[in-house]
Amino acid sequence: MRLFVGLGNPGREYALHRHNAGFMAIDAIAADHGFGGWRQKFQGVVAEGRLGSQKVLLLKPATFMNRSGQAVAEAVRFHKLDLDDVTVFHDELDVAFGKVKVKTGGGHAGNNGIRSIAQHITPEFQRVRIGIGHPGDKSKVTGHVLGAFAKTELPLLAQIIDAISHAAPGLADGDAPGFLSDVAMKCPPPKPTKKPKPDTTEEPDDGI
């Protein structure tokens, strides 16, 4: 069995927050792949189904972000899972909006959900990092993370979440590179905006 965990904060008021990108991904996977109904378990809600050749348990902790590790640890212990069986979907400041990356282990980069899970089961679990971009000013980070996606971002957000859900069976089967390739094909990352080149044309000499 694989455990797919989505990070976020429970409650309608948080639904479109950037910090809830993990919840969004898990909800899409459940809806698109015919998972069973959500039920309360492991200090959160769970749904069971299949992705690719794997039986998968989806988990959304209801503990709020900074205590997500409690729910994850309960699920891991109950099902006697290895760290290789755990994948966590979460928002990532250090990844540009529109991009998705996968890594195993490493630091928490200020994400309290990742910090909590690492404290409860060690850091060596797989992460799907859903880029939300950095506001560019450290003092604006909290408001950015805990703010809703802008209306102009919603179409691309929907594409990203759909692409993650579409490619999820490959991830469940252990093919992270294939998963990223499928995501990129369905939702190509936005091209960086080119700055206009300065006009270096010399003014004609009028003799003044």
Active site amino acids: 19
- Helix boundaries (H) for 99-175: 112-121, 141-145, 154-172
Residues whose CB falls within 8 Å of the CB of residue 37, separated by 6 or more in sequence, listed in order: 47
Tokens for 50, please give them. 């299949």
Separation of alpha carbons 24 and 89, rounded Å: 9
Other C-beta atoms within 10 Å of 162: how many? 16
Separation of alpha carbons 1 and 58, rounded Å: 11
